[in-house]
Structure 1
C-alpha cells in the first residue's frame, strides 16, 4: 500500500485541506481505471484515523481499489448549522480532485463511500443525496439517527474516558436545535423515501453486539427501513463495541462487498 497526501485550497472551507490516499500495488496511471472507496472517520477523527486499522494494508494490497480518506473533524461531513460546508467540500471538491489526479473509474458505478460511526452515517446521507456520484455504501456502527437526536442519550456513559460521542452542545453546534432545517435535510428516513430509485445503491452495514444500546437500536431501525423501501443491503450484528477494533475485524467483509460491487461495474 502506497500512502500519499493531496493538499489544495478549499473554496468550500476557506483554507487549505488535505486528504490521504492509499494506492494498491497494482495501481498504474494508465490502463484500466481503478474504482475508488471514500472512507470517512468518526467523531473527532481525521484523515489518518483509518490507517490505525492494522489489517488495512492487507486488504488494500489484495485488491484493486483506491482508498481516499477526507476529514471534517467534528462536522459530520455535512453543510452544518454554523455554515461550515463539508458536504460541498466532499462532493464538490474531493471527488473531482481525485478523479483529476488519479486513474479512476470516474462514474457512480466506480465509486463507493463508507465510514465508522459519524462517518458511516455521513456516508449514507451523502450517497442518498448524491446518487449520481456513489453506488455503494459501507458503514460500521453508523450513527444514522444523529439528525433526530434530542438531548444527550449518552449522559450515563460520560464517566467513560473512551466515550467519543458529542455532548448536547457539540451536537447542536453542528445540527442546530431539534426541528432545524439542517436536521430535516439529512433525516435518513426522509432521504430514503425521497431517493432517486433510478440510481440504485448497495449497502453493507454492521453494528457491534457490545455497542451502545441506542446505536444497536438505530442500526436495526435502519435495517427495517431499507427493507421497507426495497433497498438492497447486507446487515450484520457481530461481536465488538463502538471502537476501531470492531472496525478492523470487519474489514474483510467490508472490502469483499465493496470490491464485488465496484469491480463488477
Structure 2
C-alpha cells in the first residue's frame, strides 16, 4: 500500500490541516475508479492512528478501497460548542478534495465512513446528517451517546493508563451544556428517526464484551434504534475491550462489509 499526506489551508478550521490517504496496489489515476472508506480516529488520536493496526496492510493490499484518514484531535468531528467546525471541514472540504485529487467513485454509493469510539459515533452522525455523501457506516465501539453524557461516568477507571475517555472539562468544551443546541443537533436517536429515507444506509456495528458496560448498553440501544427505524445493519458482539487490539481483530469483517456494499467504478 502507498501512504500519502495531503495538506491544504482549511477555511473551516482556520489553519493548515493534513489528511492521510492510503492507496491500494493497482491504484491508477485513470481507468476504473475506486470506492473510498473514510476512517475516523478515537478520542485524542490523529490521522496516523489507524496505521497502527497490524491487519491494515494485508486488507488494503487485497481490496480496491482507498482509505482516507482525517483528524480532529478531541473535537469529535462535529461543529462544536466552541465554534470549531470539524464537521464542515470533513464533509465540505475533505470529501471534495479527495474526489478532485484521486480517481474515486465520486458519489455516495462509492463512499463509506467508519471509526473507533469517538470516530465510530461521528461516522454514524455524519452519515445520517449528510445522506447524500455516504452510503455505508462501519463503527467499532461507537460512543453514540456522547450528546447525553453528564458528569464523568468513567471516573472509577481514571487510573487506567490505557483509558482514553474525555474528562468532564474536555467533554463540555466540545458538547456544551446538557440539553444545549450542540447536543440536540447530534442526538443519534433523533437522527435515526428523522433521517432522509431517500438515502438508504448500510450500517456495521461491533462492540467488545469486555468494554465498559455503558458502552455496551449504548451500542445495543443504537442497534435497537436502527432496527426500529428499518435501517439495514449488522451488529456483532465479540471478545475484547475498548482498545485498538479489539479494532484490529475486527478489521477483516469491517472491510468485507464495506467492500460488499460500496459501489466499484
When normalised by structure 1's length, the TM-score is 0.99
Deviation at 1:161, TM superposition (A): 1.5
* TM-superposition CA deviations, 1:199-221 (whole Å, max 9, x none): 01000010000000000000000
* TM-superposition CA deviations, 1:71-104 (whole Å, max 9, x none): 0000000000000000000000000000000000
Instruction: Name the SS for the 2:82 alignment partner.
Output: coil
Q: Tell me what 1:66 maps to.
A: 66
Q: Structure 2 matches for 1:1-265, cutoff 5 A? A: 1-263=1-263
Deviation at 1:6, TM superposition (A): 0.2
Return 158-167 or 103-112, whichever deviates more.
Answer: 158-167
* TM-superposition CA deviations, 1:27-64 (whole Å, max 9, x none): 01001110000000000000000000011000000000
Return the alpha-carbon distance in structure 1 between the equivalents of residues 160 and 5 of structure 2.
34
Instruction: Name the SS for the 2:114 alignment partner.
Output: strand
Instruction: Name the SS for the 1:207 alignment partner.
Output: strand
In structure 1, stretches of 5+ residues that fail to align are none
Deviation at 1:253, TM superposition (A): 0.3
Number of residue equivalences: 265
Return the alpha-carbon distance in structure 1 between the equivalents of residues 109 and 102 of structure 2.
17
Verify the 8 A CA contact 2:33 2:264 in the aligned structure 1. Answer: no
Deviation at 1:162, TM superposition (A): 1.2
Return the alpha-carbon distance in structure 1 between the equivalents of residues 66 and 154 of structure 2.
36
When normalised by structure 2's length, the TM-score is 0.99
Runs of 4+ in 1 over 3 A off after TM superposition: none
Return the alpha-carbon distance in structure 1 between the equivalents of residues 51 and 67 of structure 2.
11
Verify the 8 A CA contact 2:105 2:111 in the aligned structure 1. Answer: yes
* TM-superposition CA deviations, 1:133-188 (whole Å, max 9, x none): 00000000000000011111101111111110001111000000101100000000
Return the alpha-carbon distance in structure 1 between the equivalents of residues 264 and 145 of structure 2.
31
Deviation at 1:111, TM superposition (A): 0.2
Instruction: Name the SS for the 2:9 alignment partner.
Output: strand
* TM-superposition CA deviations, 1:194-249 (whole Å, max 9, x none): 10011010000100000000000000000111110010000000010000000000
Instruction: Name the SS for the 2:78 alignment partner.
Output: coil
Return 109-118 or 159-168, whichever deviates more.
Answer: 159-168
Return the alpha-carbon distance in structure 2 between the equivalents of residues 193 and 106 of structure 1.
27
